[in-house]
Amino acid sequence: MPLGIHSSAEFEIASVELQPGDALIFYTDGVVEAFDKQLQEFGNDRWCSVIRALPILNAEESLQFLMKFLDEFVGATRQSDDITSLVFRCN
């Protein structure tokens, strides 16, 4: 469930210790719901595959790597939703 949708929502608390080279990637639904000129969705599976192929780069280069794949898929197709992603890299 998206954060902040329901004030009464309860969330499980957990922690994860990131190691050097790990990446934490946040993204909006517009990333996986982006579509090409044939109206095919980029989709969760394709997005996860791109993330798994992410080389060890700094945060800015990691974001560029991810967005390059999405941009190549979308091409010049106008999108109807925002496409937002944020990458944190652990040094």
**CA pair distance 75, 30, nearest whole angstrom:** 15
Exposure string for 53-73, b = 16+ CB within 10 A, e = fewer: ebeeeebeebbebbbebbeeb
0.75 cut: is pTM over it?
yes
Instruction: For residue 27, give the H/E element and its range.
Output: strand 23-27
pLDDT at 4: 67
pLDDT in tens, 35-67: 999 999 999 999 999 999 999 999 999 999 999
Spell out the domain ranges in the chain: 23-89
Under the banding of pLDDT at 50, 70 and 90, the label for residue 8 is: confident
